[in-house]
Amino acid sequence: MNYKNGRDVLPPSLLKELQKHIEGELIYIPKRSNERVGWGVNSGTRQMIERRNEEIFALHCQGHSIEYLKQAFHLSQESIRKVIFKKRSEHAEDASKQKVSARQ
């Protein structure tokens, strides 16, 4: 986040109005809600977790136990189960969509 002087970016009338409420301090002006990006999108964290979860699901499908996955990925048993359940649902939904589009 870059610091900008209000004098440089705000119309004088708005600057005067803001000075009635807050003067000589920093203020954060948030983006409009429809312009916000999701958590982890800019940093790449979301993509990293998605790749990790795909790897967990693939290893589970290859027969690795939840205990093995728990140790390998340093996650709780419940977290591993949630990842597997979610990925199983996503893959089933994708397969269903492919069947529908193949029929058309």
For the stretch 22-36, pLDDT in tens is 988 888 888 777 767
The candidate with the shortest Cα–Cα distance to 87, out of 63, 45, 53, is 53
In this structure, what token pair is assigned to residue 74?
Answer: 């340093």
* Domain extents in the chain: 43-100
Structure pTM? 0.61
Per DSSP, the chain holds a count of helices (H) and strands (E) of 5, 0
What single-letter DSSP state applies at residue 74? T
Q: Using 50, 70 and 90 to split pLDDT, how confident is the model at 1?
A: low
Helical axes 66-73 vs 45-61, angle rounded to 10°? 150
Instruction: Determine contact, residues 55/47, Cβ cutoff 8 Å.
Output: no
The model's pLDDT over 54-84, given as tens digits with 9 standing for 90+, comes to 999 999 999 999 999 999 999 999 999 999 9
Give the residue, 100 or 12, on which the prediction is more confident.
Answer: 12
Residue 32's pLDDT is: 76
